[in-house]
Structure 1
């Protein structure tokens, strides 16, 4: 024990503990209950067994594991509260945000009491609730109601926005419906200081053209931005300027620091020459930054930057020189102690990697006698270094990068730092005392002209989309950068990428793929080969505004750089055609020409086309008098494998197909009518003899598809069966001789999001 305690007192022990803690947090969040976690843990134990100085690393690693597990059980584990057998729960609700005020209203709410158990404001879980009430609800309204409460569960698909992960990070664990027709609502007209501040900013700049920009910069809230504004800012590489982060915190700190210094010098408040006034300047600067973060409602990115600033200042004033690497590491530890699940936020990696890059670059910038040229040269070098250093992260998280941002940021960052932010701070402060609306409108007109010029660039200008990049590529890319920067043998930097390229060449690749998306009750599927795509059905739409084609299909096509050449809609039921308007609106109407030359309302014609070597064949359809049996039946095949799409046909159409065709046998079958008992007759199953059957149906949907008897029929022929509602998106990869099935929930679900 004495030797262990003496070891902890050795220099740099705190650094090793901190490093072990970070490794423990990241490993536990991403790999707990997996083989990877066991390998990481055993490796650290073996290293410690042979190298005793690394004992501190093991201690930090264990602490990291403990903090993740403890945090999960205190703040994120609420599965035991409800069960599927109970229909309604007495719940006390505090509304956090009104998502939609159209009946039925849709709100995000904090559940402070569930089934008689109270929760503190800090630990109370949140839920997405629909409320059928005429009275408009507002944030901070409180009521007690009977709620049909269920665990939050959403669609699960590859390469698109993950609603379940987002809900977990927002601590949204339930969704439900308020059953009461009348509610006793306790409303409060009082606003807290953050809400009052946001209202003041909104009112101050409400008559300006770029009110969304000023509101985002001063509050961190982007709700005033339109989708087109967000897309333009992303394509220009300027989105980071709207997220309160290290740049903004540094600007506010500097503003407070230099204003205080100016006051102390000119007012001469103190004459004691022995006092270190820089500490006072820094304290006031830090307090200014803290107030800014507080008024942004402690946004995660802003809080991270504030913690990092605090660590740096403490080490700077309590050490003889700034310990940059220790300040970064200690700040990261504090962020993870507060919430280790911050590791799920891409902003965490961008923030800390950006600071590391800046520290590396500033240290090596050569001196210059001309201060202006020095600043300009440093800015160019830093921007170029940030572009290169953050490039792998941008590829991994956003599947591309803004090339235009490399140049535009050279102007945008100085403009924001030295003109816009100081100007906004001064205007906001003066507006609290005087009416200067005319001055604000005058300044806004000049900025609006600049933004109008930017808005004339074509959509996606400067944005390079490279598709999906795996984590291994990112790791090898950073190994390359580290070797190039630190090693005297820079030619070795290409070794990791060479190994990655060799692995890519040797890896067995599928010749084509089938994607059946998780869309709830409905169907939406994509055949992919050589970057070309065939679409079969478009999933459901809701309230004539939201569709799975818009939220899942179109982003998936865009991210994977797939060019859609042919499309078919089986029939016009909403669960199959709901996304048609969004698909056509994306400029893809031409893809229906081969199979729907007479219009989508007429159904598909018998035809056969070749797409990159795949044969897409449609079968003739007699008139049955109902849309289900007149569904367009399609078979896609190569020389070895095939997929049969059947829409919502019943046993009548199945018999017609068997009698009129001898080419139904297929490797993969999308079960007719989502697995309904009106379909999938034994004769049809024996005619197709699929190896794999995919049921596209909702999780615990009202029709309970696939039906038990249907599942049993396919089981009798030993077919592998998958259900999108249970396993998420189903991707079938076809190789020359084999077939592989990957499911979204098995492939990319985390231990803390259990089904």
Structure 2
């Protein structure tokens, strides 16, 4: 049984590495093979059934994305609100279930993430409404180290995102059940500074935590304490078990544990980690009830199988895997001959979970173990029991629970202040380069490798890896980052770096510095910028300049800086083996776009021309100046706007490669078809960051060599291509 369960989960998990979403037409054959081989080949049978299940599920839930007009025009939706996520900037995010799209009923009802800017929409969970929206398939910025929003959305069961332009009808639903308790909680905790923490810990509602709070939790490695999971469900079940045992009946303890744990899971909104913990508890309690014993391994495998039968896209959810791996690690540590103490258990858990934490989050917290040794007992023995008591008293009314919440506030506020101070004082979160991550993970896995039968070949493999790591790379490289509708270019020679423009930042708090630039610098092991050049003041080019200067030392500030060296034609700098030549502007004209800094970087054989947002007038002035414009790599001016890239400029530059820094499905239609046609006639190979992701080119003698091809990654990063062409990756413009 265990083998079938394991390979069913493996078959579902294989979707993580599918390069495209296969057609579901021939699904019947693997099902027949799986059924026939159920007894003789349990591993093959389980894998094939898992593979077919996630394939059919994906096609069933994504088919609605092929509706004509998706992403191209506004559409009328009818939906019900699943979740409201208020934002500090006045906007709201809604997770809704669509029942109709342009009057056509949808089945199954897809989940969609909608943004709302402007006045508060007044929508609450359970409300029904109709609205005018623009919807898009999940799409992620593709850069090394960047957060994969497409995978995250599908892992939450969300198959599209968009924004509301106006609400037509709205039908409110009277609050009941959990919503009533939440309203009572808000009344009982009015004015308490710890309300966001108590709301997160008691109800799983974490929208009130600030970015600084999340940074602190990650830095100290204690985010799991506010993600209601096995620790919380197990504690509640234990309290119920003890209460039920006072009756003297075995079944009373089982029943009380099940009721209390289910009630807490309901209160917390049945999150992924909560579902997993509750399901494992139900299976274990069911075994006790019927007098049967199942190993922890079987319970974990059966839990995973049931969850993936309900929603196979859970394998795209990192929280699901962290939860599963944590339980597996605990089972392994507890299965030894010596029962581990809390210190050994925490150390062992930290070591076993270090590889996935490194690979997923790009760093580690060296304070995680000691802080958890203090906080886990504190939460388990004091804070969570008090919070459960307060939530139970809410059934009697806010006044009954208020004194307990006041006590919790008196405990939480000094604790959170101390944790924030600890994180700020010691900065325990350490970002690691890709090489450092690989060395640490390899060191942790080395004992396991040495135990393999073919360990004698391990030395040869490690030697080969060392050669690949130490082999000198290209003399210099250009990375045009995928920052949506904006611009940011990283030029490197070894560990030295120049950054041209910084991308945008948004009222929601999301910015391209934290989302793209800083993770990439950390991954490359770059901790200083020799030059930070800001082409002009437009926010999609300059919005993160000051913030970046506080996060990374900058030796030279050039361009649109309040206190930096302004760009002037004729400036030259020698930067290592590269020559930096500022070609424009001659003097500021007051026209932002045409005052952009035009920078040419060359090693004497190869060059790149960075043009900012200059338009035809500035291009003509450059031609009149007889500036040295020839470059094998050109960033098309103004993201490929039709107001730029004149035929004269293209002829003077004569590029082999042209990169259009245009966001996916941008509203301006960049790059303009006429501009694309001009470069095509000139014989240049064209690439678009919004379609291809980050574009990396390396110096290779007298020609540029592209590193990587097409939009990288598995099928869920290519849903636009799947919708339009059946899943083939985007190709360069010809």
Task: Choose the corresponding residue for 2:323, options 351, 354, 363.
Answer: 351
Task: Choose the corresponding residue for 2:683, options 701, 714, 718.
Answer: 718
Task: Choose the corresponding residue for 1:71, options 38, 54, 57.
Answer: 57
Instruction: Give ranges in structure 2 of 5+ residues lacking alignment.
Output: 23-31, 722-734
Q: Is contact 1:207-1:441 (8 Å) kept?
A: no
Q: Which residue of 1 aligns with 2:727?
A: none
Name which of structure 1's ranges 518-527 and 427-436 shifts more when overlaid on structure 2.
427-436
Q: Which residue of 2 aligns with 1:203?
A: 187
Q: Is contact 1:595-1:605 (8 Å) kept?
A: no
- 2-structure distance, mates of 1:594, 1:108: 43
Deviation at 1:17, TM superposition (A): 1.5
Bigger Cα Rg: 1
Q: Is contact 2:481-2:694 (8 Å) kept?
A: yes
- 2-structure distance, mates of 1:185, 1:601: 55
- 1-structure distance, mates of 2:178, 2:464: 49
Q: Which residue of 2 aligns with 1:621?
A: 585
Instruction: Please list the CA deviations of residues 654-700 of structure 1 after superposition, one character each: whole Å capped at 9, or x if unmatched.
Output: 34445546643323110122223443344433332322110112334
- 2-structure distance, mates of 1:104, 1:218: 25
Instruction: Please list the CA deviations of residues 230-289 of structure 1 after superposition, one character each: whole Å capped at 9, or x if unmatched.
Output: 11111111111111111112111111111211x214xxxxxxxxxxx4444223212321
Q: Which residue of 2 aligns with 1:654?
A: 619
In structure 2, the CA distance between the partners of 1:72 and 1:443, relative to structure 1 (3 Å rule), is closer
Deviation at 1:344, TM superposition (A): 0.9
Q: Indicate whether 1:218 and 2:191 are aligned.
A: no
- 1-structure distance, mates of 2:717, 2:631: 36
- 2-structure distance, mates of 1:388, 1:495: 24
Q: Which residue of 2 aligns with 1:750?
A: 716
Instruction: Please list the CA deviations of residues 460-504 of structure 1 after superposition, one character each: whole Å capped at 9, or x if unmatched.
Output: 6221221347998898667535457xx499998975983673363
Task: Choose the corresponding residue for 1:415, options 378, 387, 397.
Answer: 378
- 2-structure distance, mates of 1:245, 1:311: 16
- 2-structure distance, mates of 1:691, 1:470: 35
- 1-structure distance, mates of 2:710, 2:403: 55
Task: Choose the corresponding residue for 2:361, options 376, 379, 398.
Answer: 398
Task: Choose the corresponding residue for 2:606, options 630, 635, 641.
Answer: 641
Instruction: Please list the CA deviations of residues 320-376 of structure 1 after superposition, one character each: whole Å capped at 9, or x if unmatched.
Output: 644222222222211211111111111222222222222222222536xxxxxxxxx
Aligned residues: 708
- 1-structure distance, mates of 2:428, 2:235: 28
Q: Which residue of 2 aligns with 1:517?
A: 481
Deviation at 1:81, TM superposition (A): 2.7
Q: Which residue of 2 aligns with 1:334?
A: 306
Task: Choose the corresponding residue for 2:254, options 276, 282, 300.
Answer: 282
- 2-structure distance, mates of 1:420, 1:544: 32
- 2-structure distance, mates of 1:670, 1:658: 17
- 2-structure distance, mates of 1:748, 1:343: 13
Q: Is contact 2:221-2:365 (8 Å) kept?
A: yes
Q: Which residue of 1 aligns with 2:172?
A: 187
- 2-structure distance, mates of 1:635, 1:421: 60
Deviation at 1:212, TM superposition (A): 2.2
Deviation at 1:225, TM superposition (A): 1.1
Q: Is contact 2:130-2:168 (8 Å) kept?
A: yes
SS across alignment from 1:364: coil
- Which TM-score applies when normalising by structure 2? 0.85
SS across alignment from 1:456: helix
- 1-structure distance, mates of 2:121, 2:279: 42
Deviation at 1:392, TM superposition (A): 0.2
Instruction: Please list the CA deviations of residues 711-754 of structure 1 after superposition, one character each: whole Å capped at 9, or x if unmatched.
Output: 23322343221012322332223456762243673345537733
Q: Is contact 1:156-1:729 (8 Å) kept?
A: yes
- 2-structure distance, mates of 1:200, 1:561: 50
Deviation at 1:311, TM superposition (A): 3.1
Name which of structure 1's ranges 690-699 and 639-648 shifts more when overlaid on structure 2.
639-648
Q: Is contact 1:644-1:664 (8 Å) kept?
A: yes
Q: Which residue of 1 aligns with 2:501?
A: 537
Q: Is contact 2:20-2:714 (8 Å) kept?
A: no
Name which of structure 1's ranges 546-555 and 407-416 shifts more when overlaid on structure 2.
546-555
- 1-structure distance, mates of 2:285, 2:460: 37
- 2-structure distance, mates of 1:753, 1:402: 35
- 2-structure distance, mates of 1:149, 1:505: 43
| 1:121-136 superposed matches below 5 A | 123-130=109-116, 136=122
Q: Is contact 1:157-1:744 (8 Å) kept?
A: no
SS across alignment from 1:73: helix
Q: Which residue of 2 aligns with 1:668?
A: 633
- 2-structure distance, mates of 1:436, 1:202: 11
Deviation at 1:393, TM superposition (A): 0.5
In structure 2, the CA distance between the partners of 1:413 and 1:606, relative to structure 1 (3 Å rule), is farther
Q: Indicate whether 1:437 and 2:402 are aligned.
A: yes
| 1:82-481 superposed matches below 5 A | 82-83=68-69, 87-95=73-81, 96-97=83-84, 99=86, 107-119=94-106, 123-130=109-116, 136-153=122-139, 155-176=141-162, 178=164, 183-188=168-173, 190-261=174-245, 263-265=246-248, 277-315=249-287, 321-364=293-336, 366=338, 378-430=341-393, 432-433=395-396, 435=400, 437-459=402-424, 461-468=427-434, 479-480=445-446
In structure 2, the CA distance between the partners of 1:606 and 1:282, relative to structure 1 (3 Å rule), is farther
- 2-structure distance, mates of 1:382, 1:661: 71
Instruction: Give ranges in structure 1 of 5+ residues lacking alignment.
Output: 1-13, 36-44, 266-276, 368-376
- 1-structure distance, mates of 2:35, 2:158: 40
- 2-structure distance, mates of 1:488, 1:710: 58
Name which of structure 1's ranges 626-635 and 588-597 shifts more when overlaid on structure 2.
588-597
Q: Is contact 2:473-2:494 (8 Å) kept?
A: no
Q: Which residue of 2 aligns with 1:11?
A: none
In structure 2, the CA distance between the partners of 1:411 and 1:613, relative to structure 1 (3 Å rule), is farther
Q: Which residue of 2 aligns with 1:578?
A: 543
- 2-structure distance, mates of 1:418, 1:494: 47
SS across alignment from 1:698: coil
Q: Is contact 1:238-1:405 (8 Å) kept?
A: yes
- 2-structure distance, mates of 1:539, 1:140: 38
Q: Which fold has the larger relative contact order, with Cα–Cα distance below 8 Å and residues 6 or more apart in sequence?
A: 2
Deviation at 1:454, TM superposition (A): 2.4
Q: Is contact 1:316-1:322 (8 Å) kept?
A: no
In structure 2, the CA distance between the partners of 1:280 and 1:752, relative to structure 1 (3 Å rule), is farther
| 1:27-42 superposed matches below 5 A | 27-31=14-18, 33=20
- 1-structure distance, mates of 2:565, 2:627: 28
Task: Choose the corresponding residue for 1:26, options 13, 21, 41.
Answer: 13
Task: Choose the corresponding residue for 1:552, options 508, 516, 524.
Answer: 516
Q: Which residue of 1 aligns with 2:27?
A: none
Deviation at 1:153, TM superposition (A): 4.3
- 1-structure distance, mates of 2:51, 2:476: 41
Quote the RMSD (CA, aligned, Å). 3.9
Q: Indicate whether 1:61 and 2:47 are aligned.
A: yes
